[in-house]
Amino acid sequence: MREVAVGFGRCGKYLGLMLVSVSLVSGCSVEKARTLQAAAAQFRNESLAAIAAIDNLRQRELEPPPRNAGDTRQETIRKLLNSKSPLNAELIELALNPYQPPRDREWEAFMTDLQSQYDGFAAIFDRLEGGAVVGNQDVQKSAEYARTLTVQMALFAEAIQKNPPVLVRHRSWVIANLRRVRRDYQAASSNPTRQNTLENQTGELLTQWQRLRQEERQILEATVRQCAKAVAIGKDVIELADRYDDLSLNEISLGVSRILTTASSLTGRDYSRTQSRLNRLIGDFQTDPFWQPVTRELFDRVNTAANRRNPSVRALELPSSERSVPR
């Protein structure tokens, strides 16, 4: 723990320098600090975008398929009237929203922690950017936030590649309709016209399934790309700050230029190259003494949250035609 604290102390000192106003530079080049500030701002922006992408992934996984408002109301009324369970507030809420997902406290804790790391870094950044003088402890804390946030995003991006997003409710809707069509088709063996209509419906449902698979892939790639971008920038910013005293203004400028180039190069890159870059970054985090302690500390927590997503979502996989208010 002493080694970790020392590492954060040095990084915190110089991460602060890249954000602070002239009054905080304290003998170091003002130009160097201002140059690094642009890279820190980029890290803040990309981190916020990555958190939004992670949250969007989860929301899409839990999203119910679109339903006609009129049909939904009639379905609710039928379920409520046919139920033999005691009529109470819980039953009414279930009838009104049968797709309400169960709470996942592991995921909620993960997102709260992720957001708090960003909020902590951003709050100190905003104070420094506004010219406020902050104490050394605050500056050091900004480094802790930045390093933790960087590792969290890297580990999450790695975890969702092993456990990719699944639009379970949309898939379930397609499956339920395919079951209905198959049942009707087999019952219409003596009606070729009806069977032809059902064959066309089957083709449309299979097309919807293919679109779902493509959409799931797009969600995965968009989330991993954004996380990888934030991670790559965060790693470079923090390591550049850690070597701040040993670098000249020219070296700082070249380093910042490379960091900003990284942001643009990862945006439209081939996904396999993004994966390779992310894997190298995670490898560095797992072996570099500077990153290794926080990576070990966060590994289980992040993976638990990421890997619990789909089991909790799959509890909702029962097709809508078979979901009902308890009897």
Tracing tokens 């139920």 back to the chain, one arrives at: 83
Phi, psi (5° rounding) for residue 29?
-65, 125
Pair 60, 234: CB distance under 8 Å = no
Assign 255 a pLDDT band (cuts: 50, 70, 90).
confident
CA distance 207 to 200: 11
Phi, psi (5° rounding) for residue 325?
-65, 140
| pLDDT recorded at residue 315 | 46
CA distance 260 to 110: 28
Assign 307 a pLDDT band (cuts: 50, 70, 90).
confident
Residue 133 pLDDT greater than 70, yes or no:
no
Identity of the residue numbered 35: T
> What whole-number percentage of the chain has pLDDT above 90?
37
* DSSP reduced 3-state for 134: coil
| pLDDT recorded at residue 124 | 72
Long-range pairs of 39-43 with CB within 8 A, sequence gap ≥ 24: 39/233, 39/236, 39/237, 39/240, 39/255, 39/256, 39/259, 39/260, 40/15, 40/125, 40/237, 41/125, 41/129, 42/233, 42/237, 42/259, 42/260, 42/263, 43/146, 43/230, 43/233, 43/234, 43/237
